[in-house]
Structure formats: structure tokens, C-alpha cells
Chain A
């Protein structure tokens, strides 16, 4: 019985990893090596679109880790995503160098426009790629750690916690809208030229970014899985289901929450950092609470507490969004709301959760006849 359970969960990992690895190789090949007139050619816009979905999938995975496994419903995970995105955007801005509209040797265009004379300290070091990558993880991580340290220690839970996470992302949005914050105000950061010396618009760079997104999603999945299948993962689920009981067993609930919350924020930051070079812009609207709420819908649709489901949900819902906004531009928000209601009422476990349950009951139904058949010859 244990062997079978291990086998089936191993199979799920294997299938997920194989699919992702295949995508990481096949999609760039179809895009770059197959001639444009072939039916197998994958147009660049599709690569960019799917690359974007992959970043969303990583964000959804991060949210599922805290919501699905630890019961922390964050309505502000977009904030960590956007902060990671800004860290990457700042690096890309510094790479523009003197090629900006105003041809200033160091200052980005918007600072020249604001009549600033030197780079604010927040921008120091961002011309270095390793430093920028460090900030991609560190900034969301530290914010999450400090926020979580206070929130979990004061035992803020449930809907109250959700509301303050939403307030957090809203406050950041208002702050980033301000020109004097030094992050480009409402225009944000855009007009990127190159990344590590490679032209950011080129087909090859985009294909590489796509593959990196796949690998990041895979790494995120493996880390999240390692956490949830460890003994600490059992404690997280215990906290989700009966927080007080876990305390009386002698576990420091706030430390478990803080750990998983911070890991999740770093994952969201990495997702944001991969997102920005692929869409070519980051602006304060990424902090908008609506984005974070949309992420909740992805996870709910895919199935919370399943990891794979969260990533899948992000893909499915965003694909529907891309199609819908083309076909019925006015209808998307209604469709999204309708989808959320539908999933809550009819698929409370989401796509993957429902499928897994169906699979298990089918397997359980099969079992008794098999044992009965084995007994018959003995009679």
C-alpha cells in the first residue's frame, strides 16, 4: 500500500518534470529551428505568451504553498511578484546606459525628466546582474519576513490577515505611483534594450528566457514539493486545519508560518523577475489588489493544496483570458467572476483535486472485486 502510494506520487512528479523539461527544449526548437512556413513552427508571440503564463504559474505555486498547505489566504501576493519584477526592471534600466532618449550616461530617462542630478541610493548596484538577482529574492523575502514576523506573532489570522495583505499591496501600489519614490512613477520601467549583453527583443533571447521560466517553475515545484512532503509539511497542514491544537502539541506555529510565507514570497519575486523581461514593462499596476485576487482564482480553479493544480490553473485561466479578451473584450471580468462562482460551487477541490478524487474512488472500486476473485478458487 505504501509502495503504491509512493509510486503514484512519484509518477506525478515524474510526469510533471518530464512535461516541463520537454517544453523547455521543444518550444524553443519549434520557434527557432523550424522554418516559419512549417505547420510546426511556433510563432514568437506564442512563445512570449506561454512564457508569461509560466511566470504566473510560478506565482500561483507560491500562493498555493501558503494558502493550500498552511491556510494563509494572501490577497497581496502580487506585491512580492511586482517587487521581484522591479528589481529585474531596475537592472534592465541600468543596462540601457547612454542609449536613452536624453542620452544621459547613467541616469534613466525618467530621472533626467524629473531633473535629478544623481542616482538615488536605492538604485546603487543595480548595474550588476548578480546584485540585481540577489535583490530579486532578498527584497520580497525581507518584506515578507518583517511583515510575517509581526503578523504571525500577534496571531493575526483568517480574514484579518487577508485584509492586511491586501492593504500591503495597495499601499505599495500608491507608493510606487509617486514620482519621488524614484521608480518611474505611473509609467514604471520600460524601453529595455538588453539583458547580460543580449538583445532583449531577439528571438533567441526570448527563447532562452522561456526555457529559464520553465526551469524556474520546475525548481519552484521541486522546492515546494520537498517542503510539503517533509515532516514540516505535515505540521503546515496541521496548522491549516487546527492551529490551536498544533500549539498544544508544542510546535511554534508562528515560526512555521513565517518560514513558508518567506519562501513563498521569494518564489513570487523570482516569478516577477522572469516576467518583466518577457513582457518588456513593469509598472505600479502590477501591485493592484485585483492582480492578487486573480491569482487566488487561478489556484482555486486548478485545485488548492495540489501544487500541480495551481500551476495548471494559472495556465488554463490565463489562456481563457487571452482568448476572451480577443473575442469579447468586455466580458472577461464577468467570465472570471462566473468561473470563480462555478468552481466554488461545483469543483471545490479544483480541477486536479477533483480528478485525483475521481481516480482514487475508481481505484478503490476496482479493488474489492480483485480480492474477491482471489478468494474464489479457495472455496
Chain B
């Protein structure tokens, strides 16, 4: 996500082309995920440690390159807002729904789309099976390694898009560590959303609401110190995780490497 955000801003600044920037961000996210895929799937490395290393690399690289980005002093291109015409003038609902950028719509479309792919296509079934019982998939003649690679790669592409949205939706520049560990909130949303894209989307809106509340509350000024509001999304994440114990089921072979040599 961080690398996606960075690449998105960089390409947006250099080419001034919105589509190129988003594609670049997605590709960058995908490339980074391939490092993870190689180490975690092919080398069967510990996924926690590998993920930690990849995150550290992303943070470090973006920080090293940030001065070069800041040296480019031009205005960037942002996610265009879809002009819904008269719909925007509906009170309350208008600005809430019909004044959103194309990025928000992308997220809303991608959610049912990924549900459809995961639950209604043969390929989606294979992908889910590879997380539940990789040996059965291998017995059925499909390549576990290939499916897992594609899974990780898709994850990286989506994360890259997420990063592009974060940086280019309205602020238009890159801030050091701007994702603020949102990737891990996503992990929590997965658990809370019972590994189902629809519930996951709802969980994400909930976390997003906490984030928005945090910004608003700071702006209004209140009795509580502003740090309390900053903590809010993180506290909510922990509370949601802690509260949903036992009622959520991860794929059985989640985070377990596949070793074809073992029976």
C-alpha cells in the first residue's frame, strides 16, 4: 500500500496522467507482493517474518526516495470526482453518495466483484480450496504454488490500488509512513468480516468511520485530549478482534506453507 501510494504520487507528478499513476501504483504493489510470494510460497519462509521484512523494505525505500519526490514541485492529478449532476443536490444523501470520487466507486464495485469471483466461479472455488486444503487441490491436478502466487499477487495489486487512493484521492502528495499501518487494520477487518468480502467491506466502512470521526473530533476541539481520538481507530480494531473470538473461522491452512514433499 505504501509503495503503491508512493509510486502513484511519483507517476502522477511526473506524467500528470491519472490512469498511468493508478496503473503504476497497482503494478508496484504487485511487484512487491511477488517478493513476498517467492519467499513465503516458494521458499516456504515464515510468513510473519517475511511480511515484516517486506513492510520494512517498503518503509525504508519510500523514505530513502522521498527527498527525490519532494524535489518535484508541481501540482499532481487526483482521483476525479464523478459529477452526478442534479443528484448531488439531494439534501444529506446528495453530498454523501453522489459527490464521491471514482476511487470510492471502485471500492464499491470491487467488493461484489470479488465476491462473485470467489464464490461463483470455478477458479474462485480453487483459490478458496487452496487455503482450506492444499493437498486436495493438488490431488485434483491443480498447481497449489501457482494458485497461491496468484492469490498473493492479486492481494498486492489491490493494496497498490489502495495506496494510490490514499495518496491521490484528495491530498495529492506522499507523507512518510502515510499508511499508518492501515494494512494491519485490513487484516483485522478480514477477521471481523469473517473472511467474506461483503462483511469485510462493512467492517472496513466501520473502521473508516472511526478514522473520520477522529479527524472531525480533532477539528472541533473537545474536552478529551486529541491523542485519544488518534488512538480511536486502533482501539476499535483491537476491540473488534477481541469481541469476535470464536465466531469467525479463518481458512484452515491460512499462513501455512505448502510443502509437496510431506504426505
B partners with A: no
Residues of A participating in the B interface, judged by any CB pair closer than 8 Å: none
